[in-house]
Amino acid sequence: MTTGMFLALILVGVVAGAISGILGIGGGIIMVPAMVYLLGFTQHQSVATSLAVMLPPVSIFAVINYYKAGYVDVKAALIIMCAFMIGSYISSKIAVELPEHIVKKCFALLLFVVGIKMMFFDK
């Protein structure tokens, strides 16, 4: 790994972590496009790497701050976490078999739909 690649990976991580901590978005919304378009990863590599980054210890410090401020609904988080684990396991089994261009288009469509909804249809 080159020094440039190492520094680029650090930059992607810091930016994704900062935006995730501020906006509560999954770091994958930042990391996946950054890895594909800036670092030359394939769509499958970027999704898999993003998932590896977001393993539970990564968010723990942000969660502690929000918990101390009284914002974390622990029961809801545990329920969603369990459902998330099941959903991500099943969908990853499907995704690894799909062609990369299909995964990339699905990701782009999700970002587009959410962006349009937030821009024009949120109150």
Q: Determine the pLDDT at residue 55.
A: 73
Total length of the chain: 123
Least confident of 43-47, 53-57, 58-62: 53-57
Locate the DSSP E strands across the chain: none
The stretch 47-69 carries a mean pLDDT of 84
Positive or negative: CA dihedral 30, 35, 36, 42 = negative
Q: Determine the pLDDT at residue 23.
A: 67
Model confidence pTM above 0.75: no
Q: Determine the pLDDT at residue 80.
A: 86
Q: Determine the pLDDT at residue 112.
A: 93
12-15, long-range: CB < 8 A, 24+ apart: 12/38, 12/39, 13/53
